Structure 1
Amino acid sequence: MRIGRNHFVKDKKIIVTGASKGIGRGIAIEIAAHGGIPILIARSQELLQELADEIEANNGICRVYSIDRFSREAIEEQINDMLETEKRIHGLINNAGFGVFDSIEELNMDEVEEMFQVNVLAGMQYAKAFLPHFLQFKGKSHIINIVSQAAKLPTPKAAGYAASKHAMLGFTNVLRQETRGSSLTVTSVNLGPVKTNFFEMADKEGKYQQNVEKYMLSPEKVASKVVHSLFSNRREINMPWWMEAGSILYRLFPGLMEKLLQSQFDKK
C-alpha cells in the first residue's frame, strides 16, 4: 500500500536497522521505491543480501552493513565505517527490536537485558553518533524511532518489553526537545500488533497472536506510512488510531480502563 510518492526521499541515504525482516524490510523496499538509498543494517548477512538483490533487481540502490550483535563496540565500529564510506547520510530509522511475553515472576533477566540493549541502547547509540552529522549539513534530516503502543498502554506479561519501549519513547521525546529549531525532525512511531515474525519469539505458544490476529497491522501499510512521512514535520505516527485513543483514555482514567479492558489486557 503506497500512499502517493514522497519526492523528498529521492537520492537520500537512510539507515534502517533491523532491515532483514518484517517492518524494517518493508521500509527499506519502500525507500528504494521512492528513489531513496536504504542503508541496510541487521545481523543476518544472508537475509540482507537477499533484500539487496531484490531492491537492485527493481532498479533500486542500497548499501549493506551487517553486524554480528548490537553491542556498543560493534555499533561504534560500524558507525565509523559508515561515516567514512557514505560521507553524507540523511536519515536514521531505528527499527531493530524484539520482545518476549512473560509474567514478571517468569522473567528471564538475560532476555530483558538483551531487549534493552537492542530496543533502547542501540537506538540511542546510533542517534547520538549521527546527531552531529545531521546537524552540520544544510537541508532536512530525520530520525524515526519505531516504538510501540506498549510504551503508552502497558499490559500484563509485557513488563520487559513495555519497559524498553517506555525508555525509547522517553529518549525520543527528549531528543526532539533538544533539537527543536534545527533542521532535524524526530518522530516516534507507536504501533499496535503488526503481522510479522516478531511473535515467533514474543509469543511462543501463539495464544496472543491468535487472539489479536484480526486487529493486526500489515507491515506494508506501516512501511508506506513511515516512508511517506520522511522529511516531514511529524511528531508521532500512531497506528492503529483506535489504540492511540485507548492509550489517551488510559492516561486520563487508568484505574477505570484497567477494569474495563482487563479481559483484553489478559489475552497474552
Structure 2
Amino acid sequence: MQWRPRLICITGATGGIGSALAMEAAKAFDRIVLMGRSLDKLQMLRSQLPSSCAVYLVTADLEKSDDITQAFASISKEVGEIDVLINNAGIGRFLPFEQLKREEIERMVNINVNAVFTSTQAVLPAMMRRKRGHIITVASQAARLPTPKATVYAATKYAVLGFSDALRMEVQKDGILVTTVNPGPVQTPFFANADPDGTYAEKMKPLMLERTALARSIVGIVGKRRREVNKPWWMHVGAKLYQGAPSVVETLFSKQFHSK
C-alpha cells in the first residue's frame, strides 16, 4: 500500500454486506463513515464495532440525489475528505420483467446506479486535488452472467461495471484507483426482498458466499491497484465462458438459468 487511507466511507452500511464491511474496516482503519437511511440501525451497528475506530454516522436516502449530495457535503465539512469510497448499497427484485412494478424498476436504478454516480462525483474533486483515492463499487456476477428474472438488476450492475471501467481510465493519471467487486449470491437479507418466496435462495444456499469473508477480501484491497475482485472463482470462470460463447452457454445451462 503506497498510502494509508485516513477516512473510509461505506454506503448502504446497515445491509448484509455493508455491516460486515463496517466491522472489517473498523478493525483495519482508524476512521470510517457509515452511510444509511436509518439512524437507529446505524447507531446499533456502531455499538458493535471496536472502540479503537472512530465511527461517524451519516443518514441519507440513497434514492434521492440531493440527499446524497448533502450527506457528502456534511462529511467534508464536519469529518474530513474521504480517501476511500465503497459504493456498497444495492437492491434487487427477481421477477419476470413484465411483472416488475414501475416503482421497483426505478428504485433499482436509483440505488444501484444513480447513487453510485452521485456518490462518486461528490468525492472525486478532493481525491483529484490530493492525487490519491480509491473508488470501490460492489457490482455483481449478474453483470457478467445475466439470467432470467434478473433483467433490471443485471442491467444496473452492468451499468456500474461499465462506468467503473471508463472511470478507471479517466482518473488513472490523478493517482486514483478504481475497483469493482463482482460477487455471486451472498448470505445476506438481500434475498428477503429480491426473492420473497425463497425459491432461488433455497436452491443457491449451499453455494452462497459468506459475507464476512467477502467483506474481508474487499477491505484487503483498499489502497491496492486491483481492477476487479470476482467471487466465487467458478462463477467467474462461467462468466468468462459466457462472454466468449454466449449462445453455447445459454443452451447448455438453460435449466440452471431458469432456476430463480
Shorter-chain TM-score: which interval? over 0.9
SS of aligned partner of 2:188 = coil
Q: 1:123 to 1:157 in 2, by over 3 A?
A: same
Q: Shift of residue 78 of structure 1?
A: 1.0
CA contact (8 A) 1:17 1:93 kept: yes
Instruction: Quote the residue 1:203 is aligned against.
Output: 195
Q: 1:251 to 1:68 in 2, by over 3 A?
A: closer
- Give the AA of the match of 1:217: L
CA contact (8 A) 2:12 2:88 kept: yes
Instruction: Quote the residue 2:241 is aligned against.
Output: 249
Rounded Cα–Cα distance in structure 2 between residues aligned with 1:63 and 1:225: 23
Instruction: Quote the residue 1:37 is aligned against.
Output: 31
SS of aligned partner of 1:145 = strand
Rounded Cα–Cα distance in structure 2 between residues aligned with 1:64 and 1:169: 28
Rounded Cα–Cα distance in structure 1 between residues aligned with 2:180 and 2:15: 20
For residues 159-197 of structure 1, the C-alpha deviation after alignment (integer angstroms, 9 at most, x for no partner) is 110111111111111110111222110000001000000
Q: Shift of residue 69 of structure 1?
A: 4.6
Q: 1:264 to 1:31 in 2, by over 3 A?
A: same
SS of aligned partner of 2:172 = coil
Q: Shift of residue 54 of structure 1?
A: 1.5
Rounded Cα–Cα distance in structure 2 between residues aligned with 1:210 and 1:61: 38
Instruction: Quote the residue 2:9 is aligned against.
Output: 15
Unmatched 5+ stretches in structure 1: 1-5
Rounded Cα–Cα distance in structure 2 between residues aligned with 1:153 and 1:39: 32
Instruction: Quote the residue 1:127 is aligned against.
Output: 120
Query: How many pairs does the alignment contain?
Result: 260
Instruction: Quote the residue 1:48 is aligned against.
Output: 42
Q: Shift of residue 118 of structure 1?
A: 0.3
- Give the AA of the match of 2:137: N
- Give the AA of the match of 1:41: M
Identify the match of residue 227 of structure 1 among 219, 242, 248.
Answer: 219
CA contact (8 A) 1:55 1:61 kept: no
Instruction: Quote the residue 1:212 is aligned against.
Output: 204
SS of aligned partner of 1:180 = helix
SS of aligned partner of 2:29 = coil
2:73 is the alignment partner of 1:80: yes
Q: Shift of residue 83 of structure 1?
A: 1.2
- Give the AA of the match of 2:240: I
Instruction: Quote the residue 1:63 is aligned against.
Output: 56
Instruction: Quote the residue 2:231 is aligned against.
Output: 239
Farther-moved stretch of structure 1 (105-114 vs 146-155): 105-114
Q: Shift of residue 96 of structure 1?
A: 0.4
Instruction: Quote the residue 1:194 is aligned against.
Output: 186
CA contact (8 A) 1:97 1:119 kept: yes
SS of aligned partner of 2:49 = helix
CA contact (8 A) 1:8 1:230 kept: no
RMSD between superposed Cα atoms in Å:
1.5
- Give the AA of the match of 2:9: I
Rounded Cα–Cα distance in structure 1 between residues aligned with 2:106 and 2:239: 26
CA contact (8 A) 2:88 2:138 kept: yes
SS of aligned partner of 2:145 = coil
Q: Shift of residue 238 of structure 1?
A: 0.3
Identify the match of residue 145 of structure 1 among 130, 137, 143.
Answer: 137
CA contact (8 A) 2:2 2:223 kept: no
2:164 is the alignment partner of 1:172: yes
